[in-house]
Chains A and B, each alone.
Chain A
Amino acid sequence: MSSEGDRLSPPAATAQAAQRRGRLKVFLGMAAGVGKTYRMLLEGHAELQAGRDTVIGLLESHGRAETAGLAEGLPMVPRRRVSYREAVLEEMDLPAVLARRPELCLIDELAHTNVPGVEHAKRYEDVEEILEAGIDVLSTLNIQHLESLNDHVTELSGIRVRETIPDAILARAEEVVLIDLTPEALLDRLRAGKVYPPGRIDAALNNFFRIENLAALREVALRQVAEEVGAKRLTTELVGAREESLAAHAPQAVSERLLALVKPDPTSQRLVRRAWRSAQRLGAELDLLWVRAPGRHLSDDEQRSLSALRQLASILGAKMLEEESDDLPAAVVDVASRRGSTYILIGHSRPVRGLARLRGPLPQRLMARLPGVDVRIVADRSGRSRGDVP
């Protein structure tokens, strides 16, 4: 525990707080157990040793010995006990933190929902009040709690997360630090009992902590932080000429991925150009996909068109993918899922006949099987071409 002597005198602290709002730093992770709280505590110790008045406002160690051990030496504001439906629960003591007026407060689990009866329904609202009081805050957050990503994460993991926070909270944070860990390493930690107590390990492995879930969540977390960096860079761009120059020359962060369906036909050239222009505007990656029917023989014209498409893809920096399948929608869905496509661009559809009419148009089938992915049809301007979907 730190001595009271390290703290600013109340009048000085009040005057300083009145001058500015506190700074928020969020440690973001793909799931529990990646080390967000651990990293937050490490920074808390560093700040304390640097002479700042640092306290723990709330810590959720989840029974992890490593985490609890690291908390030793950091002053802690005791939790308060709140009665709710004949139970007594513990929450962060917001009035005590505000009365204590530290320079820096560590508050775990930003998305937590408070017990009814305290000042605010959500912990991020407590944090807002602390920031308004001029106190800096370090906090932690898992990516699935971010409101805008909630649906996406549910699709990926099959698990709906109830506790969410508005994206604006994260956007207002001065710093967002991604605590990254490979899915394999996290699973090792889980199996070693470093994340949950032994009784919960099997359930966790069978539900949320599946490697495909973790890989997808990791990608979402990386994208989110890349977007945060991009947004902050754009803000900086408006501030100074030097930064503007740096921003203009810096590569764009990846936030979207376009998938254009092509075939060895002249009409695909225009589709690829349009897709590339859209990708440029979005700062997105572009994939081209040709689904080839098994055993299909290409004519000389088609061979040349395919070669031209490959050349175009190469010069534009797009990735040309070729899949063999007799089920076009299934192949597209498979590739879009694997590549994390957010847009699909297709050409003008060939009129179908016979029983194929019963299956419905390709765009509708893709939209039905890829919820959340935009499908765009690029018009065929060539009056003499046949203009088919690949």
Chain B
Amino acid sequence: MSVLAIVAAVAAGVLLGAGAGYWLPPHGRLAARNRPRPVRRILLPFTGEEISSRSFEAAVRLARAENAIIMPAFLARVPMNLPLETALPVQCARGMPLLEAVEQSASAQGIAVDSRVGRGRSARDALRNLLEHEHFDRIIVSADENPRVGLSYDDMRWLLDRVPAEILILRPAPDDTRRISVHSVSGHF
């Protein structure tokens, strides 16, 4: 075995290693590539500082079963005396931590999240604006007329009448007072 053959073998090994380093993922890129992409989109709108836990858990169950994305949407109301495009820092101070809480909780359960914000003169107007620009396969709302939690009954009727998506309205159990709220954010935000 000549020195030349040894050098050639070493060089081939180095090239093979470099090629593998180039093509193979440092952290499982192939596995990610082969993972089926989520295709369905579940909208979880909210207007206040809380989301019913039942709604959130239903969204998580459905998302897991259908390999869907949960899309929590904060619906901000723009006062009539302000331009529609105005910034709303006070409302965002409530809505952003809740989006964070939902994202943390869903991510911890392995569910993909893609947040949205919508704004309008009312919660329904904000939802209408959001639905005009994006398609959702399912919309999950809680039948809880507490304005801190969700949409009014009128808003739900409007949803059922006008929106071409599956609408899942969950009646809260009388003894179920669990909520996802801004206090659910873990760690620094």
- A residues with a Cβ closer than 8 A to B are 266, 269-270, 273-274, 276-277, 280, 304-305, 307-308, 311-312, 314-317, 351, 353-354, 381-386
Contacts and interface: CB of A to CB of B under 8 A. Distances in A.
Contact of A382 (B99, B107, B116): B107
Nearest to A357: B21
Interface of A is mostly: helix
A308 B129 CA distance: 12
A306 to B, nearest CB: 12
Contacts of A312: 117
Contacts of A316: 87, 89, 92, 96
A17 B92 CA distance: 53
Contact of B89 (A305, A317, A385): A317
A26 B189 CA distance: 40
A314 B87 contact: yes
Interface in B1-55: 21-23, 25-27, 29, 32, 38
Contact of A384 (B25, B85, B111): B111
A315 B88 contact: yes
B152 interface: no
Nearest to B106: A382
A315 B119 contact: yes
B110 A384 contact: yes
B97 to A, nearest CB: 8
Nearest to A381: B107
B118 interface: yes
Contacts of B114: 266, 269, 305, 308
Given A311-B117, A386-B32, A280 B93 contact: yes
B162 interface: no
23 contacts: A266-B69, A266-B113, A266-B114, A270-B100, A273-B189, A276-B96, A277-B189, A304-B133, A305-B114, A307-B133, A308-B115, A311-B116, A314-B87, A315-B87, A315-B117, A316-B87, A351-B26, A351-B27, A351-B29, A353-B22, A353-B23, A381-B103, A382-B107
Nearest to B100: A273
B108 interface: yes
A254 to B, nearest CB: 15
B119 A273 contact: no
Given A304-B133, A382-B113, 12 more contacts: A266-B112, A266-B113, A277-B96, A277-B189, A280-B89, A304-B134, A308-B114, A308-B115, A315-B88, A315-B92, A383-B108, A383-B110
